[in-house]
Structure 1
Amino acid sequence: MNILILSPEPPYPPVSGGRLRVFNVMKELARNNNVFLITFVDKEEELKYRPELLDYCKDVALLSRNHTVFTKINSRLQALLNKKKTIMLSRFYSPVFQQKINEFMAKYDIDIVQLEHSYIDVYEIPVYTGRKPAKVLVQHNLEYKLIEQQAGARWPGTSLRRKIEGYIDLDRFKEFEINAMKRAGLCVMMSNDDRNQLAEVVPEVLSKTIVVPNGVDVEYFQYYSGPRDECTLVFSGFMGHFPNEDGILWFFHKVFPYIKKQYPRIKVFVVGRGPSKRIRNLENKYSQVTVTGFVDDVREYLNRGTVFICPLRMGSGTRLKILEAMSAGIPVVTTSIGCEGLQVEDGQHLLIADSEEGFATKVNQLLEDGSFRTKLSKTARSLVEDRYSWPSIVAEYEKELQQLVKG
């Protein structure tokens, strides 16, 4: 099959959850198929990774989104003045991107166009060969749910701008996203939880919706049984993603004081590119905190830490960060939303708590009990080996694509 992937960000280097998923699916599909990629890049330095992408793709187009302060302000003004526009879609529409789609569709006999995220459906897919390609919509999140959570966030760490943008976009983007799912030949969700939510808003697409869960490279994230730093917490993720920022700010404002009271020598590493000023300021407020920004290899921190924290309060899909931690052998404390969609059990594969004191209690429990940490981490590793390896996940997905092409 000839598969064209349209992505809002380059899958290489795979330094965030969304990139990791696209990269691993792309890599596995490329074993038996011809894969083509069109993607935005936000930084000029990302252009240098084209050779790595060509290891898996027959052709690659890396396009600058050219977002300036003016274009950002203009997109918000347009959304305020025109009820048919949304801030979200304006961020990802580019005439150059559309032109490149047209070129690839004219040049290559594409069987499947795979859209990464619903907002990429803002583009038209032209037909040149007389045979319309199948459209696959990969829903990393139910985006309207994220906007809804953003608009309704009720604590001081949430900026007024984000709330206002959420209120402006919510109904408009929800309508767009529902129609995008209706237009697709196949919808892909990250978990059964996400798929079940569709029954409430767009039940007619359930018959063409499948679950392709996130996975982990168990060879890359090998189980580490060596020495670890004492009393060290680790969080990893793209800090430019609002749910990650919100979760970390909530953790430090509400949860961390309980932990620090019992473990005054506690250390916390917040690992991941794109930390905002508010996240950076945590280093000034707490001497125990290190905000690393981008790192070449997150395994260094996963192998150092005593406990991995994932204090998410919003979002959908499944968290690759949790799968990576479980694969690497660092025990996890998360919220119900943090592990939503994963086939895990509280107390067997990880620990779950949603309240401030409850989350702190679970972290302290693991800091206190080394044998429990080992037991939890080994059970978690077995789970990811059995259910979440990328080759087996993508092999099943490839069968679905073959059926879609056959009609």
Structure 2
Amino acid sequence: MPNLLVIGCVWPEPNSSAAGSRMLQLLEFFLAENYKITFVTTAARSKFAVDLEKMNIASEVIKMNHSSFDEMLKKIQPDLVLFDRFMTEEQFGWRVDETCPKAIKILDTEDLHFLRKTRTEAYKKNISAESLYFDVDITKREVASIYRCDLSLIISEVEMDLLQNEFNIPKTILHYLPFLLESISEGNKAELPRFSKRQNFISIGNFLHEPNWNAVLYLKEEIWPLIKQQLPASKLEIYGAYPSQKVWNLHNEKEGFLVKGRAENAPEVMQNAKVCLAPIQFGAGLKGKLIQAMQCGTPSVTTPIGAEGIAGELNWNGFITNDPKEFVEKAMQLYSEENVWLASVENGFRIINSRFNKNAFQQKFLERITDLFQNIDFYRQKNFIGKLLQHHQHRSTYFMAKFIEEKEKNNQVG
């Protein structure tokens, strides 16, 4: 039974974010392949996290810049280490290299953080994100982390193209792995509420994620007043984990703008809504809320950024537009015209079954991992840039970590 060590950025919360769902999918994949899994993170335990013990996964809170992690590595002797986002590879990758040099290292990028950050800055400055890619430190850090790992999981085809075409990263160290979803059967479809049984618009998203807060504010100020004017009886329900006071302050019963906070059962509230609104202005990766809407038979109106990487060449389950007036028009059309609504629902089912079939992607991922185990020396020799970055970055990280560790020891003695 191979040993897998997962170093998480946070505890996996599948009901709070798409990142949490992604991590759960990966854990389930490795469990199905009979891996013995240990999940560790420096984050405080979360009451909203999935119960790893029930999944027969060992878990532990670890310290940063502390030799106790090295001792844990010696005890576990992982065959494979999965880093959850590039920051964990920066913090712990060199320790894995020193203690378990033969362990396969896989980075799950979740989405490209440099892409998310540069798009955010570009949106605020009203400039092109492409002009920022190569200048910000986070790009250099994330790309360096990709090179230092044996394989990096990329969740979107758009991000695969960006890394290969703009940054010339070899495909041998990249692997396209979107969300791993069950196909939607005719029986599944029949169980979902029909058009006549649904009511209200919905928006959902973790409020720790800036694009979600921005989208809700955009709805409040630009979109919803126009919809409410023409559909006075309609309501918009706003769901999302970790809402701050500024989010709650948007709640207005009279306007039909209802801030609900965390959804105890996100699929349930989604499948009872008639239309999902997601005017996302910036961000990266795949938008879990829109994929969940498709699974729940709920059409959506979103932006090109919101839809990015999801449908491929297939028709969207609703409409895609950056124009606020068209956004309002299409939202009302979906809400009022059952034939348009039904056609959009079917488009969503087609996207899920064609683009996210977990069986096909899991098999390809398994073949890639098997190939790595059998030919790791060959791949590492080919990845000379990765070896170069390992040497220089890990030396600097090593000395900084040792300095911090000794400083903390002295503070405790003092």
Change (3 A) 1:103 1:297: farther
For residues 13 and 62 of structure 1, the distance between their equivalents in structure 2, rounded to whole angstroms, comes to 19
Alignment correspondent of 2:39: 37
- Could you tell me which amino acid in structure 1 is paired with residue 123 of structure 2? A
For residues 347 and 362 of structure 1, the distance between their equivalents in structure 2, rounded to whole angstroms, comes to 15
Change (3 A) 1:406 1:119: same
2:33 maps to 1:25 = no
For residues 210 and 124 of structure 2, the distance between their equivalents in structure 1, rounded to whole angstroms, comes to 14
1:256 is displaced (CA, Å) by 1.8
Alignment correspondent of 2:104: 134
Alignment correspondent of 1:270: 238
Alignment correspondent of 2:167: 202
Alignment correspondent of 2:155: 190
Contact 2:195–2:338 (Cα < 8 Å) also in 1: no
1:40 is displaced (CA, Å) by 4.2
> 1:25-104 alignment to 2 at 5 Å?
25-32=26-33, 33-42=35-44, 45-46=47-48, 52-62=51-61, 95=64, 99=67, 101-104=69-72
- Aligned residue among 365, 369, 373 for 2:337: 369
| Gaps in structure 2 of 5+ consecutive residues | 127-131, 376-414
> 1:101-120 alignment to 2 at 5 Å?
101-120=69-88
| Gaps in structure 1 of 5+ consecutive residues | 64-93, 157-166
With the length of structure 1 as denominator, give the TM-score of the two structures: 0.80
2:155 maps to 1:153 = no
> 1:311-330 alignment to 2 at 5 Å?
311-330=279-298
1:363 is displaced (CA, Å) by 0.5
2:39 maps to 1:3 = no
- Aligned residue among 145, 159, 164 for 1:180: 145
Contact 2:11–2:45 (Cα < 8 Å) also in 1: no
For residues 82 and 154 of structure 2, the distance between their equivalents in structure 1, rounded to whole angstroms, comes to 13
Contact 2:220–2:257 (Cα < 8 Å) also in 1: no
> Identity of paired residues, percent?
19
- Could you tell me which amino acid in structure 2 is paired with residue 147 of structure 1? K
State the Cα deviation string for residues 202-257 of structure 1 (Å, max 9, x = none).
31343321100123355799431346566511112211111111122122222222
- Aligned residue among 310, 322, 328 for 1:360: 328
> Alignment partner of 1:358: what SS?
helix
1:184 is displaced (CA, Å) by 1.2
Instruction: Work out the number of aligned pairs and report it.
Output: 362
For residues 55 and 88 of structure 2, the distance between their equivalents in structure 1, rounded to whole angstroms, comes to 22
Give me the CA root mean square deviation: 2.9
- Could you tell me which amino acid in structure 2 is paired with residue 2 of structure 1? N
With the length of structure 2 as denominator, give the TM-score of the two structures: 0.79
> Alignment partner of 2:96: what SS?
coil
Change (3 A) 1:25 1:286: farther
Change (3 A) 1:247 1:322: same
For residues 275 and 133 of structure 1, the distance between their equivalents in structure 2, rounded to whole angstroms, comes to 40
- Could you tell me which amino acid in structure 1 is paired with residue 36 of structure 2? N
For residues 105 and 350 of structure 1, the distance between their equivalents in structure 2, rounded to whole angstroms, comes to 49
State the Cα deviation string for residues 125-184 of structure 1 (Å, max 9, x = none).
33577642121111112111222223233389xxxxxxxxxx9x9722222112111111
For residues 290 and 400 of structure 1, the distance between their equivalents in structure 2, rounded to whole angstroms, comes to 46
For residues 14 and 103 of structure 1, the distance between their equivalents in structure 2, rounded to whole angstroms, comes to 33
